[in-house]
Structure 1
Amino acid sequence: MGNIIAILLGVLVLPIVILGTIPFLGWANWLALPVLVLGIVAGQLSSSGNAGRNFCIVVGIIAAIRLSIGGGII
């Protein structure tokens, strides 16, 4: 069940992260990161698989790279 929740959270946050790659909209990634952390935790708690957790980690890495390129704000 946690794996499904993690996948759903990752899919819901992915458009926000994609929107955050546009210049001057990097602040959207700050909104996405806490939700991704919840997805990672939910995926970690599930014992059936780790696809949801891994998906949230990949989306989180994309958001973190974008934030580091923009200096954390832009």
Structure 2
Amino acid sequence: MGLISLIWGIVAMIWMVIALIPLLGWGNWFLIPFAAIGAIIAAIGILFTREQHRGRAKAGLVLNAIVIVVGVIRLSMGGGII
């Protein structure tokens, strides 16, 4: 689960960079739920793995959380459209 959430977070981060381009801000409407699913996968990975193997899940959770925060800020700046 940790590796899946980490890869999910990397994909979301790449998508976030693309959505920062002007007139592509509508991609944030799809990006935020995508990153939220990645954060849920990471949380499951943190809860149900051993203490030694939680690093990847924590990194995935942090990446997905950053993407969610930046996506929400970007949508609020553009009025939810741009």
Residue number in structure 1 paired with 2:21: 22
SS of the residue 2:15 aligns to: helix
CA RMSD, 1 decimal = 1.2
The structure 1 segments of at least 4 consecutive aligned residues displaced by more than 6 Å after TM superposition are none
2:65 to 43, 57, 61: 57
Distance 2:2 2:76 in 1: 28
1:70 to 59, 75, 78: 78
Could you say which structure has the larger radius of gyration?
A: 2
Relative to its length, the structure with more helix (as a share) is 2
SS of the residue 2:79 aligns to: coil
Structure 1 residue runs without a partner (length 5+): none
Q: Does 2:8 align with 1:9?
A: yes
Distance 1:22 1:52 in 2: 24
* Aligned amino acid, residue 43 of structure 1: A
So what's the TM-score if we normalise by structure 2?
0.80
Contact 1:3 1:53 (8 Å CA) reproduced: no
* Aligned-pair CA distance for 1:33: 1.2
Residue number in structure 1 paired with 2:31: 32
